[in-house]
Amino acid sequence: MDRLPKCGANYVPLTPLTFLTRASKSYADRTSIIYGGVRFTWSQTYERCCRLASSLRSLNIVKNDVVSVLAPNIPAMYEMHFAVPMAGAVLNAINTRLDAKNIAVILKHSEAKVFLVDYEYLEIAKKALELLVADFERSKTSKMPMPLVVVIDDINSPTGVRVGELEYEQLVFQGNPSYVPEEITDEWDPITLNYTSGTTSDPKGVVCSHRGAYLSTLSVILGWEMGTEPVILWSLPMFHCSGWTLPWGIAARGGTNICIRSTTAQEMYTNIVSHNVTHMCCAPIVFDILLEAKPHEYKPITTRVQILTGGAPPPAPLLEKIERLGFHVVHAYGLTEATGPALVCEWQQKWNKLPSENKFKLKARQGVGILTLADFDVKNFKNVQSVPRDGKSIGEICLRGSSIMKGYFKNDKANSEVFKNGWFFTGDVGVIHSDGYLEIKDRSKDVIISGGENISSIEVENAIMRHPNVAEVSVVAMPHFKWGESPCAFVILSKNSEIKEVDIIDHCKSNLPGFMVPKKVKFVEELPKTATGKVQKHHLRAIAKTFVISEKLNQTGKNTLSSL
């Protein structure tokens, strides 16, 4: 074996950029992007990406420089997933729902050299840049230059809303169509810098590699059983975990990207029907938008649309409702640090024979590791050993594989906390069933400990969601003078519903063990959420702490805080 030749020309670093090159040759005349009245083919998309990469290089962008973008799901956002790394740079797609302060923090921390801004977000970008200037002036030590701003005008407008010296389409037009993309010599080089949503901590910069992006992309299109020529509706923000790697994946399949600026019910239904959409991705919150569409917004779906969902565990009753409309849901679990999906609930044919309720409970599981993930496990909090596969023993979800991030940018402390013994510790709590399928039970900080019993807030939420009058729910720990903690439910009712707290509690008593039944139900109009749609439970816990005071006063018959 020692005489075998070395890899030589057979070794080509893995990168998802090869998917676009392939699409431009194999699917040259197929439609790559539809956005309102704008259409491109794959050969055109490849040329536009080459031109943009060429222009970025002319702006002195060099290897590993960060290029930030603040934009919705428009063609420019899609193109930058290829053009920026084709210039040798690293793409930092910023969450459009962040405030100016957080955008400024990201621009500073990422050391962005260029900042591309969609015309819709010019005002908030301007405020962020003003904060950045003020911060530099205060510190008087930073030598970092301000990022060069490029405005993305409305490509559908004949006149545009031209602002500033540099404009996106101008950069594309001026670029070299024969530009040769920067060669990727090391597949571990960074391709993206994505910032976490900060559900349980401050946002952190996640560095993903070309290799990780390539492997994750293959896993998603294989796990989702995506054939050639899919038509995807971009209901998932591309800034969220690089659109779960599907900007690269649709190129790999020679598909068509339907770009939309917002996820309103009318815009989604109209585009699904008009363009015969076959695939879409979204967090479960989008299900509610589709389900609550008004009569003039809704259009009947004649062909089944495949939905990949994740971001928050969808309750089984919600999955059942959305599938009645003509959607077929595949549930995945992932996180920014895993370069998108890490687990997928692969469906087994034998489950088709099960009663409907059982099927949707199975579909709500997070599933098994994607094909290119080396391994996943659930480990005991105390001894870091694998928990029994009994569907009951809880522990922290851990992942291993090349698709896991390289690490947090400029954050050695956080890296040392999540990488241990060759595993990435997610901070999520789960169980593994006897069939090997994983099911999330909570974030580690969201487990409710009542009288020594661990209560999964997700399990309580699932039970409450089975009530016909409940639209949304979030359950958190409420301090309890006897049990330490008890469940507290914040509930959004369906339209025109008139039920009382006792109705929800009685419903829970019929569906849950006594110790899991919420001691308090609070009806609310909305739930506090992160910019990616995840419920901010720490805000709810702060509110829940105020409830225990009144409950304890009622129990003791006293009314002074000193008596507590």
pLDDT digits (tens, 9 = 90+) for 229-247: 999 999 999 999 999 999 9
Token couple for 105: 């923090």
Domains within the chain, CATH numbers bracketed? 36-183 (3.40.50.980), 450-545 (3.30.300.30)
Please give the pLDDT value at position 128: 94
pLDDT at residue 315 in the model = 75
Distance (Å, whole) CA 441 – CA 200:
16
Give CA–CA dist 196/189, Å, rounded. Answer: 20
| Residue-level pLDDT at 494 | 86
Please identify which residue in the block is written with the tokens 């801004």: 117
Q: Report d(CA 444, CA 140) in Å as an integer.
A: 40
In the block, tokens 């549930």 appear at 331
Return the sign of the alpha-carbon dihedral for residues 291, 292, 295, 296. Answer: negative
- Write down the residue that tokens 């290029």 correspond to: 67
The Cα 371–Cα 513 span in angstroms is 37
Residue 193's pLDDT is what?
97
* Strand-by-strand arrangement of the 484-493 sheet: 470-480, 484-493, 520-523
Give the separation between CA 99 and CA 31, rounded to whole angstroms: 35
Adjacent-strand bridge partners of 290 = none
Ranges of residues in the chain whose predicted pLDDT is under 50: 159-163, 199-201, 549-564
Among 379, 504, 371, 410, CA closest to 144: 410
* Alpha helix ranges (H) inside 118-257: 122-139, 168-174, 210-223, 241-244, 246-252
Structure tokens at 469: 């009058």
545 burial type by CB count under 10 A (0-12 exposed, 13-18 middle, 19+ buried): middle
Amino acid letter, 323: E
Residues in the chain: 564
The residues near 163 (Cβ < 8 Å, ≥ 6 apart) are 119, 122, 151, 153
* pLDDT (0 to 100) of residue 272: 96
Return the number of other C-beta atoms located less than 10 Å from residue 5's C-beta.
6
The burial class, CB within 10 Å (0-12 / 13-18 / 19+), for 289 is middle
Tell me the percentage of the chain whose pLDDT exceeds 70.
Answer: 89
pLDDT score recorded for residue 18: 97
Euclidean distance between CA atoms 284 and 543, whole angstroms: 24
The residue type at 34: I
Q: How many CB atoms lie within 10 A of CB 381?
A: 12
Mean model confidence pLDDT for the chain: 87
